[in-house]
Homo-oligomer: A and B are copies of this chain.
Amino acid sequence: DFLSALDEVHPAFGVNDEELQQCVQNQIIQFANNVERILSDGQLFIEQVRKSSRTPLVSVLLHGPPGSGKTALAATMAMSSEFPFIKLISPESMVGYAEVSKISMINKVFNDSYKSPLSVIVIDNIERILDWVPIGPRFSNSILQTLLVLLKKRPPKDRRLLILATTNEKSVLDDMNMSDCFNSEIYVPNITELSSVDIVLKELALFNDEERNRALNALKQGGVELRIGIKKILTIIEMSRQDVDKVEKFVGTILNMAPHKVETN
């Protein structure tokens, strides 16, 4: 599978590996079927780029609620391609840059990619790269226009490029006519099953078996509709680890953040 394949990746040049690794600091836990399916979809796009000369550009948008794992999954796909050029465009690497600097930085990554026969570019958190804020709304139109063009610009002859982008604000991208620029979309959902929580808890080793069962039972009794990102669960687990009553803290925090309770029998 792709996760074990990942372990053996030794990218040649043009790969900022450390940055990408940091996006997957807490690994990819296989807590549900869709995790496997998303990664295998990613593998298909990688193959299409590798093989079809008629579609030298493939672009994919990973979207979903905050903290559902989009960045970690996109970074994992990118690294698994083993393409000679793999780069991350992220808001973190452009903090405090002026608009023009951001644009020329983005532009440079694309131009560099055109020199490699096979490339992957991860564009993380597009709405943040665009300086989007719903009040107004305000955003950088110059950066938007740059991305609108680059997302559709064909690489030169004999060059192939895979673009993996992530966003929490799919509807904003729709309003900007940006969604149309992608060839495909992948939805990354929240965790909604107790079985997924069980797998995560085992992996993180917060509880012993008795505590874990107690926690899961308490969540079941709580009668809330589970809808929580993997990132949030990981944080709650670490907070609970400091507490005297870990089970109580873990269950209590999750039940408190649930938006609305459902009837249970």
**Which residues does A use to contact B, with CB under 8 Å?**
22, 25-26, 44, 47-48, 51-52, 54-55, 66, 91-92, 95-96, 98, 100, 103-104, 106-107, 128, 131, 133-135, 137-139, 141-142, 144-146, 148-150, 153-154, 175-177, 180, 183, 204, 234-235, 237-239, 241-243
Are B96 and A135 interface neighbours, CB within 8 A? no
A169 to chain B: closest residue by CB: B177
Distance between A264 CB and nearest chain B CB, rounded to angstroms: 28
A91 to chain B: closest residue by CB: B149
Are A48 and B131 interface neighbours, CB within 8 A? no
Knowing A148-B128, A149-B128, A153-B92 touch, does A177 contact B242 (C-beta < 8 A)?
no
Are B154 and A22 interface neighbours, CB within 8 A? yes
Partner of A146, one of B52, B96, B100: B96
Are B141 and A133 interface neighbours, CB within 8 A? yes
Are B134 and A176 interface neighbours, CB within 8 A? yes
Q: List, in ascending order, chain B residues with CB within 8 A of A106's CB.
A: 96
A106 to B95, CA, bound (A): 10
Knowing A137-B135, A149-B128 touch, does A26 contact B44 (C-beta < 8 A)?
no
Q: List, in ascending order, chain B residues with CB within 8 A of A137's CB.
A: 135
Are A55 and B135 interface neighbours, CB within 8 A? no
Are A54 and B66 interface neighbours, CB within 8 A? no
Partner of A242, one of B47, B131, B149, B183: B47
A54, A96, A104, A149 pick with most chain B CB within 10 angstroms: A96
A67 to chain B: closest residue by CB: B180
A111 to chain B: closest residue by CB: B95
Are B128 and A44 interface neighbours, CB within 8 A? no
Are B92 and A96 interface neighbours, CB within 8 A? no
A-B contact pairs, 15 of them (CB 8 A): A22-B154, A26-B54, A48-B242, A51-B242, A52-B238, A54-B238, A55-B234, A92-B153, A95-B107, A95-B153, A96-B100, A98-B100, A128-B148, A131-B141, A183-B239
Partner of A48, one of B51, B128, B177, B239: B239
A78 to B235, CA, bound (A): 21
Are A44 and B103 interface neighbours, CB within 8 A? no
Are A96 and B103 interface neighbours, CB within 8 A? yes
Contacts beyond the supplied A51-B242, A55-B239: 13 A-B pairs with Cβ under 8 Å: A25-B154, A44-B239, A54-B237, A55-B234, A66-B180, A95-B107, A95-B153, A96-B103, A96-B104, A128-B149, A131-B142, A135-B176, A138-B141
A181 to chain B: closest residue by CB: B66
